[in-house]
Structure 1
Amino acid sequence: MAVCTPVSRAQLEPWLDRYDCGRLLALEGIPSGIENSNFFVDTERGRFVLTLFERLAFEQLPYYLGLMKHLAARGVPCPDPIADRDGATLGRLNDKPAALVTRLSGRSDMHPQAPHCAAVGGLLARMHLAAADYPGRLPNQRGLPWWVETTPRVLPFLRPDAAALLRDEIAVQQRFAARPDHAALPASAVHADLFRDNVLFDGTRLGGVIDFYFAGHDTWLFDLAVTCNDWCIDDATGAFVPERLDAMLGAYLAVRPLEPAERHAWPLMLRAAALRFWLSRLF
């Protein structure tokens, strides 16, 4: 999407008056992004990112901003929403919900190696532990109910073999989710979209995690599976690269060892994570 809703200096300057950020020095649209309009904002007192939300409703956003605030307060390197003088982290600009957050250093590395995967694995485990007491509650908006709802809408466009595979996998995941051991898996607010483009690096030094706007309540194991399925595969074949997978899982487990039920559920959770993003690409 890049920048869908433009913002000029003349529009932003009076909006920034609500914040203790000082005078606006620079405003630059961010070309990447598919869900929101984002801008780099430099002021006399810091560097920030301004987001105008193009699809999410105003009422949904306090959950996501609250989660980032919660994690940042616990030492997780993620954007920290900035409150205005009235204590609000969410406002409106150009008829869109808008928020200002701290800007992290680094850039995405789309060709990660084992050290990158280890850094992400350790950070993900710390994020899960830090989110355990987050009081906000919002179901994963791309979880099983969405899979079941979306499947009939994409089936007519699939080859018979792909359609059969999708039907079978939905049935498998419905049975999996109904099992008592699935209900007992550790869960909290999770990122749910921790792909390579949502982590910033400076070399192999991790700068932080961005884009929490697909977050929701789900199992920690699902979040780990989503992350492994992106960071640890060979792009040409889709197969896991052992060195990267071992690095990510080793770093994660060093912070938070898996429970026996999680180890048992791991193969099906990898399939669940793959299904979620297969469906979103089809849709």
Structure 2
Amino acid sequence: MAVFTEVSNPQARELLRTLQLGELVELRGIEGGIENTNYFLTSDRGEYVLTLFERLTAEQLPFYLHLMKHLAHSGIPVPDPCADKHGEILHTVCGKPAAVVNKLRGRSQLAPQAVHCAAVGGMLARMHLAGRDYDRQQPNLRGLPWWNDTVPVVLPHIGEPQQALLRAELAYQNHVAASPAYAALPRGPVHADLFRDNVMFEGETLTGFFDFYFAGVDTWLFDLAVCLNDWCIDLPTGVHDAPRAQAMIDAYQAVRPLTAAERELLPAMARAGALRFWISRLWDFYLPREASMLKPHDPTHFERVLQQRIAHPLRLA
């Protein structure tokens, strides 16, 4: 989340009136993230989030927006896109495709304990099951094909040890993806970016998942691995936190037990999750876009996480 496109108060006021959401009280840019332009949009009727999509196209966006609506109507606490009088949930602001969703209650838990990890694990499993009957298809756009395309672009910007690690891990992940065990993994819509700052809590109560704009159809195990790599590690070192991880996995399996293939490939998918975000952070760090509010993430963080996942494979108890 950042501000690449400046939205004026009159433009926000017109949008609110089009959506019949009341009169503008405040429009405030959201700092953080690196993909889209985001504003907190407050009216006399409630609080909303306005997103202008800077990379995703109008053809790609219905998958994300209708997935959020599908999940919201299935009882999963996610933002519900606001429709105009014609029922349209994809809008245009400043010439960019845009959406307005309700603002979730609570705040992000950036120092999670086992209880928070368990809440995320259980809700993630519920979300996966709720998405089984979602009828739109779109691949994870930051999946293996994107890794294969992007690694050659970032290699010239990093040192020889990092190049060797990146090449070796990419080769390993291509090998895993060609295996029968990988083909057997259950699949469906995934969030694919469910970090600490994309979940809301009030105390120990989970109040919502948000920022679904990296979602796609992928393996559910990859989605779980992405969560384990953020929620259940020591951030400075990337070292695995076993109690938090066990709490998340136990809560997930209480809703949807993992299959034999998933249990076998959990170590590989934990490495895949680390690789995906190392590549994307390298790309964003060395090939940034201009924005009025933008702080690229440190790519070395996920290099450390990947090294930890290779040296100490993540296995189920």
- For Structure 1 versus Structure 2, the TM-score category normalised by the shorter chain is over 0.9
**Residue in 1 aligned with 2:59?**
59
Verify: 1:6 aligned to 2:18, yes or no: no
Alignment coverage as a number of residue pairs: 283
After superposition, residues 226-245 of structure 1 pair within 5 angstroms as: 226-245=226-245
**Residue in 2 aligned with 1:131?**
131
Q: What root-mean-square deviation, in Å, do the aligned CA atoms of Structure 1 and Structure 2 show?
A: 1.4
Shift of 1:77: 0.6
**Residue in 1 aligned with 2:269?**
269
Pick which of 238-247 and 45-54 moved more: 45-54
SS at match of 1:264: helix
Shift of 1:167: 1.6
Cα distance between partner residues in 2 of 1:104 and 1:240: 30
Pick which of 168-177 and 190-199 moved more: 168-177
The one-letter code matched in structure 2 to 1:58 is A
SS at match of 2:133: coil
**Residue in 1 aligned with 2:78?**
78
Cα distance between partner residues in 2 of 1:275 and 1:33: 18
Shift of 1:11: 1.7
Change (3 A) 1:26 1:159: closer
Change (3 A) 1:229 1:23: same
Shift of 1:256: 0.6
Shift of 1:25: 3.0
Verify: 1:47 aligned to 2:47, yes or no: yes
Shift of 1:233: 0.3
SS at match of 1:132: helix
**Residue in 2 aligned with 1:153?**
153
**Residue in 2 aligned with 1:180?**
180
Cα distance between partner residues in 2 of 1:158 and 1:49: 36
Shift of 1:117: 0.6
The one-letter code matched in structure 1 to 2:36 is N
1:79-129 Cα offsets, whole Å, 9 max, x none, are 000111001001111111111111101111211111111111111111100
* Amino-acid identity (%): 59
Cα distance between partner residues in 2 of 1:105 and 1:30: 16
The one-letter code matched in structure 2 to 1:120 is V
Change (3 A) 1:97 1:267: same
**Residue in 1 aligned with 2:250?**
250
Cα distance between partner residues in 2 of 1:22 and 1:273: 41
Change (3 A) 1:33 1:237: closer
SS at match of 2:101: strand
Tell me the TM-score normalized by structure 2. 0.85
Pick which of 105-114 and 119-128 moved more: 105-114
Change (3 A) 1:236 1:11: closer
Shift of 1:45: 3.1
Shift of 1:17: 2.4
Runs (5+) with no aligned partner, structure 2: 284-317
Pick which of 123-132 and 53-62 moved more: 53-62
Tell me the TM-score normalized by structure 1. 0.95
Q: Which runs of 4+ in 1 moved over 6 A?
A: none
Pick which of 153-162 and 229-238 moved more: 153-162
**Residue in 2 aligned with 1:223?**
223
Cα distance between partner residues in 1 of 2:143 and 2:28: 35
